Amino acid sequence: MAEFLVKMADERGHVLEQVENGVSEKDVRERFVQKGFLVYSVRSHAGLLALTLFRRRRRIKADEFIIFNQQLVTLLKAGLPILLGLDLLRKRQRNPYFRSMLENIRERVKGGELLSEAFEAQGHGVISRVYTTTLLAGERSGNLEEVLSRYIGYQRVTATFRKKLIASLVYPSLLVTALTVMLSFLITYVVPRFAELYANLGADLPSITKGLLGFGIILQSYLYLIVPGVIALILLVIIWTRSEQGVNFIDALRFKLPILGDIWMKYQVAMFSRTLATLLSGGMPLVPSLEVSSSAINSRKISRTVQEAAKRVREGRSLSFSLEETKFFPELAVEMIEVGESTGALPTMLNSVAEFYEEDVQNALTAALQLVEPILLIIMACVVGFVLTALYLPIFSLGSQMH
């Protein structure tokens, strides 16, 4: 999903600016028009890197949000009014940004807005659409505490799964970082010292040594240009990856990667299934749940696939048949969803699909990393061996000449 900066006015004429995730500018514009806003402009957020980085620093941590909801459910079950509960939780909140946001939400609820509307007004870049839709379902059914409890369970499972994935990637990341630092040190510091030594000795150097020394000297001489150039290139890549073209390219590339593409697909299917199950369990109808789930998926390709399936479901077709027609969803997931529909236990089966693919992703990632780690170690050994051989080969030649 790309990020867009939306400039709009509400029914009172107040002009607002908000960062919003969406598939395209048209999708974001239609979303706000349907809510009754007068949309002035929708611009790609790619060029506003500083604002993006600032907004990300303000973002609420997942653990903070889970704890807030746990405390809110406890207060609601104890019989406290929502306004009093929000006031108590606002005073206890240590995150200044989250505290100010809760204060804004409290004022909106006090002014007559629903809790779901007050959270939705904060923007989907901060509060997920899944959460606001879950709140709305709880308010409509009159069972907000139970719906929020299901959402907390959903957040706990997804947070735990993400943490496991991140933990699995720590060691390979450390190896790559160590290799980069070591090579930078050897090429920019050690190699030029050897170049000075061999120049003073007037030794006849092998071609491999000449090439390495020449590369090291050039790198050290133009370091003041190379470092800013690399930084500028990284910033340009970051900006491009936030643009619509960049998001589409990277999304398509992820599915084409060997091994990792299959893992990414299964991860997205697991997240979609878990989200849809949570919304259906909260009492939301199938079509709105599909639409919300599509906006919560990280992959544009799967998001569009789910949107297409939602259109077919609205026309009266089954969910399993609609997903099968897209020819993108895994066959096993479609079959399990079909069983859930036929038995009238779709939310339960969707949770089973999520659990199956989460475990499959974990196992596949573990197996892939077990292969990646020795490959990285072998590459490190080969690179270091090549550098050391190129540097010390003339010394061995000089030693043999002295004898």
Cα-Cα-Cα-Cα torsion 280, 282, 283, 289, nearest 10 degrees, comes to -40
Instruction: Look up residue 226 and give its two tokens.
Output: 């190379």
What's the CA gap between 131 and 155, in Å, rounded?
10
Our CA angle for 294, 60, 122, nearest 5°, is 65
Q: Mean per-residue pLDDT for 41-50? A: 60
- Residue pair 2/45 in contact (Cβ under 8 Å)? The answer is yes
CB neighbour list of residue 338: distance below 8 Å, 6 or more residues apart: 318, 320, 321
Q: Which pTM was predicted?
A: 0.63
> pLDDT of 346-375, one tens digit each?
989 998 998 898 888 888 877 877 787 788
Strand-pairing partners, residue 16, are 8
Whether 62-153 and 154-403 share one fold: the answer is yes
CB 98: neighbour CB atoms within 10 A? Answer: 20
Our CA angle for 161, 237, 18, nearest 5°, is 70
Q: Mean per-residue pLDDT for 342-347? A: 89
> pLDDT of 64-90, one tens digit each?
888 999 999 999 888 888 889 898 998
Q: Is the pLDDT of residue 27 over 80?
A: no
Q: Mean per-residue pLDDT for 108-127? A: 81
Q: Which CATH architecture has domain 62-153?
A: Up-down Bundle (1.20)
Domain boundaries, the chain: 2-58, 62-153, 154-403
CATH numeric code, 154-403: 1.20.81.30
For residue 64, the surrounding DSSP H or E stretch is helix 62-77
Residue, of 331 and 31, whose pLDDT is higher: 331
- Confidence class of residue 232 from pLDDT cuts 50, 70 and 90? very high
> pLDDT of 246-271, one tens digit each?
888 888 888 888 888 888 888 888 88
Strand-pairing partners, residue 15, are 9
